Amino acid sequence: MPPETSVEAHHFQALGTNCSLFGVGVSRSRLLQGEFWVHRLGERLTRFSPDSELSRFNASAGRWVDVSPELEALLRESLRACETSGGLVNVAVLASMQAIGYTRPLAEGRPTTTVAVARPLPPLPQVLEVRPGAGRLKPGAGIDLGGIAKGWMADRLLEELGSNALANLGGDLSAGGPGPAGAGWPVGLGGVTVLLRNQGAATSSVRRRRWGELHHLIDPRTGQPANTGLAEVSVVASTGLEAEVVAKTALLVGPDLAPVYCAAHALAWWLSP
């Protein structure tokens, strides 16, 4: 095994969570540029700011509006995620989020709503259309990009940071290259260390962002917080975004189907009831 090379690391707060960037042979200024990119794009994609690009897109439901290349890419990935998950990963959750009182970052105070009144989500392709440079939401629909954005951003960051780097945005991570010792990036998953090389990982859970009986992970079949018998799923897949989609889908299909689903779609996984 080759000698371990030094890793440049940078930790910061963004997207309402902890973020970390690592690189071998990557300058600190490049990691700082990565942080700046995360902040800048995060401000455009948050649903909590009325002036963000996403909020303006949600507010323009019913008509075609111009969208940035980044938002267009994320909307297209959202449609793809909805398709590959059989509709279980659906970003058109804004109405449900509002119904359960999740209308501001939890750091600003926990929601006071204790009873969820929500309806099943419509299939995303029925409420979201995307064409080059523009998008349109059906009136009444709204989206929250959530983990889709984090996984996608981790993958994009990796492209910017070089051939041997790792980006972790609140648990959605993407690892490229041989890592510090040549065998892959050592990453914690389910309490053990796994070596990732040109792979991504993500965790979906109902244990965090929780208040009372409610939490942030919406089951599109009910429009209410998921209650499938699984509390947490961690997954390794080929990219950070794919890991995010697989982890959320596995959690939503529940403990009976999740092992089979993960065996077909994940490279490694951990299920917690």
Partner 1 sequence: MRTVVLRAGATVLTLATTLLSAAYVTAHLKNPAAPLQPTVVKASTGSPATGPGGVKLGPSVQPGSGQPVTSTYAS
Least gap, CB of 188 to partner 1 (angstroms): 3
Pick from 126, 203, 161: nearest CA to 20:
161
Q: Biggest alpha carbon distance in the chain?
A: 58
Among 35, 53, 172, 242, binds partner 1 (CB under 8 A): 172
Among 93, 148, 149, 194, binds partner 1 (CB under 8 A): 194
Which of 14, 26, 38, 166 touches partner 1 by CB under 8 A?
166
Residue 41 CB, shortest distance to partner 1, in Å, is 17
Report the residue count for the chain. 273
φ, ψ for residue 88, nearest 5 deg? -75, -30
Residue 221 as a binder of partner 1 (CB under 8 A): the answer is no
Q: How far is the CB of 228 from partner 1 (least distance, A)?
A: 15
Is 199 a residue that touches partner 1 (CB under 8 A)? yes
| Burial environment of residue 132 by CB neighbours within 10 A (0 to 12, 13 to 18, 19 or more) | exposed
Task: Collapse the DSSP code of 39 into the 3-class scheme (helix H, G, I; strand E, B; otherwise coil) and give the result.
Answer: helix
Least spacing, CB of residue 123 vs partner 1, in Å: 16
C-beta of 71: minimal distance to partner 1 in Å? 22
Tell me if 8 contacts partner 1 by CB under 8 A.
no
Q: Which of 111, 162, 178, 186 binds partner 1 (CB under 8 A)?
A: 186
Q: Which of 74, 89, 141, 187 binds partner 1 (CB under 8 A)?
A: 187
Contact call for residue 9 and partner 1 (CB under 8 A) = yes
141 binds partner 1 (CB under 8 A): no
Neighbour count for residue 164 (Cβ, 10 Å): 22
Where does this chain touch partner 1 (CB under 8 A) — which range of 50-58, 62-70, 126-134, 255-263? 255-263
- The amino acid at 61: A
Query: Can you list the positions of beta strands (E) in 59-209?
Result: 65-66, 128-131, 134-137, 165-169, 172-176, 185-189, 192-196, 199-205
Residue 102 touching partner 1 (CB under 8 A) = no
Cβ neighbours for 226, distance < 8 A, ≥ 6 positions apart: 206, 215, 217, 218, 219, 251, 252
Task: Measure the CA–CA gap between 87 and 121, rounded to whole angstroms.
Answer: 9
Q: Applying CB under 8 A, does 249 fall inside the site for partner 1? A: no
The nearer residue to partner 1, 34 or 135, going by C-beta atoms, is: 34
Query: HSE (CB half, 13 Å, CA atoms) of 48?
Result: 13
Q: How far apart are CA 173 and CA 107, in angstroms?
A: 22
Among 133, 188, 212, 229, binds partner 1 (CB under 8 A): 188
Single out the residue of 67, 75, 153, 196 in contact with partner 1 (rule: CB under 8 A): 196
- Interface residues with partner 1 (CB under 8 A) are 7, 9, 16-18, 20, 22, 86, 166, 168, 170-173, 180, 183-196, 199, 201-205, 207-209, 232, 234, 236, 243, 259-271
